Each structure stands twice: as structure tokens, then as C-alpha cells.
Chain A
Amino acid sequence: MFEARLAKGAIFKKILEAVKDLLTEASWDCGDMGITLQAMDNAHVSLVSLNLRSDGFDKYRCDRNLTMGMNLGSMSKILKCAGNDDIVTIRAQDNPDTVTFVFESENGEKQSDYEMKLMSLDLEHLQIPETEYACVVKMPAGEFARICRDLSQFGDSIVISCSKQGVKFSASGDIGSANVKLAQSSNVDKEEEAVTIEMQEPVSFTYACRYLNFFTKATPLSAQVKLSMSPEYPLMVEYAIDDIGQIRYFLAPKIED
């Protein structure tokens, strides 16, 4: 038997919004430690890695390790049926063919359950080695989303350059060029509004706007986003999810042909 109950059910709604445009289907791996999901987009350019720790749930029971293959479009449709303040429970038997989502209103007066068929997926799992990044930028998630959206008007790609002076986002194309520079915050009253940069060496890489804009669908999950960059390593874009876990996106850079 598997059962995971989350009082802040809106987190599940936001997670689905954050992955459904990038991935059509994915396996949810459930074990003692919690729920993980790892999947690449069809083009194998980006990867989503989600981790929800069991201790972050209000109730968590997993008698046997489970892998549940789900169509994320269908899962998103079901989670749209949950209210923002609903308590969400995900339930499955051992070796399940289906998964059940239960939504309870805060006052307990309304309860709905939705059963979804599972899929048998044969997806490639990648080993993601731990690495020391050359630059780690933390900034407000809304600001990053805004910059990606704004610069996408100028071209297909964004150059992210990071140095001691700060982080610069650049794009150019037919209509002209655009640069957005952010300096490290000097005086921070609110931590979530801060821009911080940890730099070992300056870096500058080019990334496809299309994917960056997919990643920013996770913005409602977190006040801050962390961008980690290193030579010969994909960009990592990370959003913390309350005190339950995080969603990480990896993106291969563009290179000069």
C-alpha cells in the first residue's frame, strides 16, 4: 500500500504546472525516502528531477517501492479538479494498475476521488553526478521568469554571463539586442528579494529560450531560483518546494557549430 497525504495540496497542482509542458509522461518512483521523478524531454535537451521527501508529507506510507508511470496531461487534468486549499492524498496498491487522487476540502465537507490508469513506461534514467559549480546565482524567481520572457522576444537563445560584477542576461536577433544586468544585492532586508552570487570562475553560456521558459513555469513554487553553471556541464535551475523538497531542471547549452 502506498499513501501520501499533503495538507498543502496546491503544491501538487503547482508541480504539475511546472512539468506538464516539458514532459508528456513520466515515472513517479515512490520509496521509503519519498517520491522522485526524473525525465527528459523528447529531444533529450533538458531533464526534470523532482524530489519530495517523505518527512515533508503530513502522512506517508510506502510498504513496497513503486514505480508509477503516468501521463502528465491526464494527471494535470485531475489536479485541476482540486481546490487550492484542498488536502491531497495519493493512494495506490502494491503493483498497481491505477492510482487514486483524493481531494478533501479544509472543512472536511467535500471529498472527491479520481482514479487514473497507470502506464508502463520504459524511460531512460540518467546518472547525474554531484559537481562543484563555477557560478551559483540565487535570485528572485519572478525576476528570472520576467527576464526570460522579456529576452525571448529578441531571439531563440539567451546568453547568461556571470562574473564578480554580477550576472548578465543577453539576447539578440532581427529587431536588435537586449541586456539585463543584475548586481549582487548589497543590503538585503528580505532574503527572498536578494540576488547572491557565489563564483569560482567567470562563465558565459548560451541556452535556448524555449526551455528556460518551460522551467519558469515552476515560479509559483518558490520565491527564489538558483542557477548553477560550470564549463562542460549542463545548467541547473533549481526551485525549492517549501520544506518538502525541490524541483531541478538541467539544460544542455548551445554551442557554436
Chain B
Amino acid sequence: KQGQRRLDSFFTAA
């Protein structure tokens, strides 16, 4: 089973 990661976990708010 695969989970989709979100971009928020890689990039921080500017």
C-alpha cells in the first residue's frame, strides 16, 4: 500500500 506525501512536508512557507 502506498501513501501520497504532501509538498508541505518538503517545503516551508515563504
Contacting residues of chain B (1-14) with chain A, CB-CB under 8 angstroms: 1-14
Q: Which residue of A lies closest to B9 (CB)?
A: A252
Q: Does A114 contact B (CB under 8 A)?
A: no
A40 at the interface (CB under 8 A from B): yes
Q: In the complex the two chains form, is B2's CB within 8 Å of A126's CB?
A: no
B5 to chain A, nearest CB (A): 4
Number of A-B contacts (CB under 8 A): 58
Q: A46 — which chain B residues lie within 8 A by C-beta?
A: 7
Query: Judging by beta carbons under 8 Å apart, are A254 and B3 in contact?
Result: yes
- Tell yes or no: A124 within 8 A of B by CB: yes
| A157 cross-chain contacts in B, Cβ below 8 A | 2
| A side interface size, CB within 8 A | 25
Which partner residue on chain B sits nearest A207 by CB separation? B4
CB interface residues, A 197-244, toward B, < 8 Å: 206, 208, 232-234
CB-CB < 8 A to A234: which residues of B? 7, 10-11
Q: Are A126 and B13 in contact (CB under 8 A)?
A: yes
Q: Does A122 contact B (CB under 8 A)?
A: no
| Other-chain residue from B1, B3, B9, B11 in contact with A127 (beta carbon distance below 8 A) | B11
Q: Could you list 14 further interchain pairs (A-B, Cβ under 8 angstroms) beyond the known A44-B8, A127-B12? A: A45-B4, A47-B11, A124-B13, A125-B14, A126-B8, A126-B12, A128-B11, A250-B7, A252-B10, A254-B5, A255-B5, A256-B2, A256-B3, A257-B1
Q: Give the interface of A toward B (CB within 8 A).
A: 40, 43-47, 124-129, 157, 206, 208, 232-234, 250, 252-257
Please name the 7 residue pairs, one residue from A and one from B, whose CB atoms are nearest each other, closest first: A126-B11, A125-B14, A252-B5, A127-B14, A254-B2, A257-B3, A44-B6
